[in-house]
Structure 1
Amino acid sequence: MSGKTPIFIIGATGYIGGTVLSRLLAHHNAHTFDITALVRSPEKAKILKERFGVHSAVGSFEDTALLEQLSANAHVVLSMADSDDVAAMQAILQGLKKRHESTGDVPVLIHTSGTGQLIDGQETKGMAATDLIYDDTNFDQMASIKPTAFHRDVDLLTFAADAEGYCRTYVVLPSTIYGTAHNALVAAGVQNPRSIQIPMLAKASLHRGRAGMVGAGLSRWPNVHIDDVADLYIILLDAIASKGADAVDHGARGCYFAENGEHAAYEISRAIGEAMVALGRASDPEPTPFTDDELKHYFGSVEMGHYWGTNSRCRAAHARTLGWAPRYATRDMIASVSGEVEAIVEARSYETFKAQFSKPILARFNIPGDA
């Protein structure tokens, strides 16, 4: 549409993407946005169009030709689905390059990665916290992250595209995300309202009848509320729109952590245990270590289970320079755990709980799945 900014959203029905889309729909400049979403479900596509005025294309990350076409049509692409699909990102970037070559426009890509890439060398199997803390304003430190780190291969593709000059790229790296999303998209049945991180541990704990942890639960991760994550995307977009894309750190300098405090793994497991006792699902709130057999059963492999005993420590200084001021802290995350456990018990989803990490995801961690 003439005069409107074409925005392409990938992951619009997901936990992060749907929450960001709800913010865009309520944005004071929403009337200037022409939003298109890629969705798998024709039913959800219909709802997005009829109730929210969002154009939709039905497809998936596997439809690389469609990804390329939709990206070529957009000035802004928000990638908030798979952080690790190289082929999909190549298609997105090819579309943005075509747009630049045909129109002269320098489009914007905001990609979602994660602080999982910081765990390299910090795998303590839950027996210790490590001292290394990443600061996203320390560009030399950020550049030292290994190319083989989780999510990093896709991030590097975005950096290279920015360096070529045909687009401006920015990477948001959320940490442990928590909280239930509440918005019109959730109410309409379009958006997934919950994370998988804490619920996965809760399901495993409920199934075994006692809260579980890896090792002694001493490893540390940052945490961030879903509403604060969504705010960061909007603040970043607003900064790009008001200052100009070149005035906001981009490319290899354009990484923005999303965190507001950190926790020891034990704290989450203990909160799960307390919720289980309150619900009559356990007699003791104190978590115990998962056995190797349990790690394999619940998380796909012993090695993958040890992921929950890694350290990923960072400070989101960069995002705060943009004016991002997260409202929720670690205490809010701990307080939210009981609601997650209650929801799982109510749905009885733990009774048939299986490993939620597929072999392709294990491969992206460079961890072989057990037979």
Structure 2
Amino acid sequence: MRVLVLGATGYIGSAVVERLAHAGHEVIRLVKDAGRVAPGVPARVGDLADPASLRAAVTDEIDAVLHIAAPTGDESVDTAAVDGLLHRLRGTGRAFVYTSGVWVLGATGDRPADEDAPTAPLGIVVYRPRIERQVLDAADDGVRSVVIRPGIVYGHGGGIPGLMTDWAREHGTGRYVGPVDTRWPMVHVDDLAALYVLALTRAEEGTLLHGVAHEAVPVAALAAAADLAAGGPGRAEPWARETAGQTLGTPFAEALALDQVVSGRRAVDELGWQPNRPNPLTDLTGNIRA
């Protein structure tokens, strides 16, 4: 397939691009500035704030579009961007994969939330369910539309766990926001990349998938592992949400304190997804510097 990828240089996007290339797909990056692309790298110019540029980028020879770019934070802009990307896919059966996230579910309780669970989005992602619905409804217009909700992504020293390691290094101890029993659903970035490729090639139109390999990782234990990774003895202490909000911003601090248990079983059962990377605690402590 010839795949147009938005967000190709990001943490998730770069892993997906590598996986696509390994699977034999041709990747075309959507960039704001063609001058920043290395010579010989296929790219097209487009901007989320310019729907016309997105419509122009999705030409007839594009077989699928992967939207992995970070949202702008403006619902009207993101809605128009998705509409622009979908414009020339309608009626063609070509694939469109959109990236959302598990924070749209809100607090889940102890029962693992699957894709049929109702949404209760936090403020940081308050309009995201409406974008999801916009994408999924495109299945009625002949688009093989798919929404993926990744859990908290980790691996290769990146993602929020990478930030936690930096906090431990800076403050001399691991830190976590929220109660000591807070849990996060998580996925290794390489396993997540494999899911994108499966969704691109196997998912039916109108499919919603949770990209979650570990349903409920204890965040206090993750903070202790981050302290080990930073060279400490494996300590962790609570970081008051109000204080964390002053440093990180209140919406992000609220999200970090969110307790969730989320199932990713549908991707395993329907697409044959087989996440096999080390769990987050092992991954973090495996990066301890000698």
**TM-score (structure 2 length as normaliser):** 0.85
What displacement does 1:77 show? 0.7
What displacement does 1:222 show? 1.4
* Residue 23 (structure 1) aligned with residue 13 (structure 2): no
1:68-83 to structure 2, matched below 5 A, reads 68-73=55-60, 74-83=62-71
Larger Rg, first or second structure (1 or 2): 1
SS in 2 for 1:272: helix
What displacement does 1:107 show? 2.5
1:189-268 to structure 2, matched below 5 A, reads 195-240=158-203, 248=204, 250-251=205-206, 254-261=207-214, 262-268=216-222
Identity between Structure 1 and Structure 2 (%): 22
Q: Distance in 2 between matches of 1:40 and 1:160?
A: 28
Q: Distance in 1 between matches of 2:122 and 2:241?
A: 26
Q: Distance in 2 between matches of 1:88 and 1:341?
A: 39
2:274 matched to which residue of 1?
325
Q: Distance in 2 between matches of 1:307 and 1:98?
A: 35
SS in 2 for 1:289: strand
Q: 2:281 aligns with which of 326, 334, 344?
A: 334
Kindly provide the CA deviation profile for residues 111-136 of structure 1, in whole angstroms up to 9, marking residues without a partner as x.
Answer: 111111122x45xxxxxxx3132123
What displacement does 1:285 show? 3.1
* Residue 38 (structure 1) aligned with residue 1 (structure 2): no
Q: Are the counterparts in 2 of residues 10 and 81 from structure 1 also a CA contact under 8 Å?
A: yes
Query: Following superposition, which runs of at least 4 residues in structure 1 exceed 6 angstroms of deviation?
Result: none
Question: Per residue, is there more strand in 1 or in 2?
Answer: 2
User: May I ask how many residue pairs the two structures share in their alignment?
Assistant: 282
Q: Are the counterparts in 2 of residues 107 and 168 from structure 1 also a CA contact under 8 Å?
A: yes
* Residue 118 (structure 1) aligned with residue 111 (structure 2): no
Where does structure 2 lack aligned partners over 5 or more consecutive residues? none
* Residue 305 (structure 1) aligned with residue 253 (structure 2): yes
* Residue 174 (structure 1) aligned with residue 170 (structure 2): no
Question: Structure 1 179/315 Cα, relative in aligned 2: closer, same or farther at 3 Å?
Answer: same
Q: Distance in 1 between matches of 2:246 and 2:167?
A: 9
Question: Per residue, is there more helix in 1 or in 2?
Answer: 1
* Residue 57 (structure 1) aligned with residue 10 (structure 2): no
What displacement does 1:338 show? 4.0
What displacement does 1:72 show? 4.7
Where does structure 1 lack aligned partners over 5 or more consecutive residues? 123-129, 181-193, 241-247, 343-371
Question: Structure 1 272/6 Cα, relative in aligned 2: closer, same or farther at 3 Å?
Answer: closer
Q: Are the counterparts in 1 of residues 4 and 58 from structure 2 also a CA contact under 8 Å?
A: yes
Q: Are the counterparts in 1 of residues 45 and 57 from structure 2 also a CA contact under 8 Å?
A: no
Kindly provide the CA deviation profile for residues 148-201 of structure 1, in whole angstroms up to 9, marking residues without a partner as x.
Answer: 7733121121122223x1422101111111112xxxxxxxxxxxxx53311222
Question: Structure 1 61/195 Cα, relative in aligned 2: closer, same or farther at 3 Å?
Answer: farther
SS in 1 for 2:97: strand
1:96 matched to which residue of 2?
86
